[in-house]
Structure 1
Amino acid sequence: MSGEVPEKARVRPRDEGELQEKTLASLAPYRDGDGRIFTIWSTLAHHEDALRRFLVFGNHVLGKNTLPLPSRELMILRIAARAQAAYEWDQHVRIARRAGLTDDIILAAAAGDRDGLDELDRVLLTATDSLLDRQSVDDELWGRMAALLSTEQIIDVLYTVGQYLTIATVINTLGVQVEGDLALPLPEPTDQKEEAA
């Protein structure tokens, strides 16, 4: 499933001065420490109406998700690593560290290694791989998910995988470039898929 990111952006980020006021208002929370709009969003601002709508859904997945924050981040990092989406990887390594995850756990989960993780995270990473590979889960995995998660949380699993696969696809296709140096090197893709947790 690993992607191929162009060495240069295929679509350059838009300058802030080109954006509508309502788009700027929607992007107010999506700025870096220097006040610049994150590159992913200034790139997607070429389609301002769609971006504003997408941000509403993205805000749910990133900010109002019912899954534990560290667990959600492990799922996103697994998606980014499998897709080789460096921009997504870099942003979420930083978020995962703030959520208390160590680099060893981040790298292990990204590689598909579930040793040392609790049962919930093992199940969530297995579900992430299954959803990426087959766009579904089998009955056995469904039972394990249902034993640990509410229906609302299971829906958030599906939304999280869908959202971040979409973002990885955007990054890889449009050539969204990392802002500076990677916080942690992006692991090489592995053939490891959907192992039993």
Structure 2
Amino acid sequence: MPEKARVRPVHEADLQEKTLTSLAPYRDKDGRIYTIWATLAHHEDALRRYLVFSNHVLGKNTLPLTSRELMILRIAARAQAAYEWDQHVRIARRAGLTDETILAAAGGAWEGLDELDQVLLTATDSLVERQGVDDELWQRLAAHLSVEQIIDVLYTVGQYLTIASVINTLGVQTEGDLALPLPEPVDRKEVSA
């Protein structure tokens, strides 16, 4: 990732009223629009449309909250997307996940996680690497999840791969110090060996 932003966030005063309305729920504790959304506001029409999908994945997803966060953190670590990592470490902690669990999921050490999370993280890796899952992994997913939930797995991975690409390409900077250091990416095969 670039050391500084390639694209600076749009100042709030320069945004259309309908964009400000769409961004109302996407503000930090001090009332500032999160940097990722202020950066994407350079394309306001696309941002407003994207927020509808993002709201489903982050707010109305059928997957368990903690499982979804572990998937996102695995993607962030693999992509070395510091902004995504930092935001979702904070969300994961609020959801009750420990730093030890967060780092285990991100680093590929899944043996201590429950079966569902192991299957979801395996699917996350497969989707990142191959943009699909084989029949054996499909059966494992189907043993734990409904088709609706499997679709949410696909949407979650797809959205957060997109956001990681945005962060790393545009140089979206964190909004302060990282809540937890971003681990180096580890291939699951290395951990299993």
TM-score normalized by the length of structure 2: 0.98
Structure 2 counterparts to residues 110-149 of structure 1, below 5 A:
110-149=106-145
Residue 96 of structure 1: aligned partner:
92
For residues 118-139 of structure 1, give each alpha carbon's deviation from its aligned partner in whole angstroms, at most 9, with x where no partner exists.
Answer: 1100000000000000000000
For residues 81-112 of structure 1, give each alpha carbon's deviation from its aligned partner in whole angstroms, at most 9, with x where no partner exists.
Answer: 00000000000000000010000000010001
Separation in 2 of the partners of 1:52 and 1:30? 12
What code does the residue aligned with 1:163 have?
Q
What code does the residue aligned with 2:20 have?
L
Residue 40 of structure 1: aligned partner:
36
1:178 maps to 2:174: yes
Q: CA deviation at 1:192?
A: 2.7
Structure 2 counterpart of 1:83, from 79, 84, 93 = 79
What code does the residue aligned with 1:169 have?
S
What code does the residue aligned with 1:71 have?
S
Question: Any unmatched runs of 5+ in structure 1?
Answer: none
CA contact 1:58–1:163 (8 Å) conserved in 2: yes
Percent identity of paired positions between Structure 1 and Structure 2: 83
Q: CA deviation at 1:195?
A: 7.7
Separation in 2 of the partners of 1:58 and 1:195? 32
What code does the residue aligned with 1:23 have?
T
Separation in 1 of the partners of 2:189 and 2:56? 28
Q: Secondary structure at the match of 2:172?
A: coil
Separation in 2 of the partners of 1:195 and 1:137? 20
Q: CA deviation at 1:191?
A: 2.9
Change (3 A) 1:194 1:54: farther
CA contact 1:130–1:194 (8 Å) conserved in 2: no
Separation in 1 of the partners of 2:21 and 2:33? 11
Residue 27 of structure 1: aligned partner:
23
Residue 61 of structure 2: aligned partner:
65
Separation in 1 of the partners of 2:4 and 2:18? 29
Separation in 1 of the partners of 2:74 and 2:184? 12
Separation in 2 of the partners of 1:51 and 1:27? 9
Change (3 A) 1:138 1:53: same
Separation in 1 of the partners of 2:11 and 2:78? 31
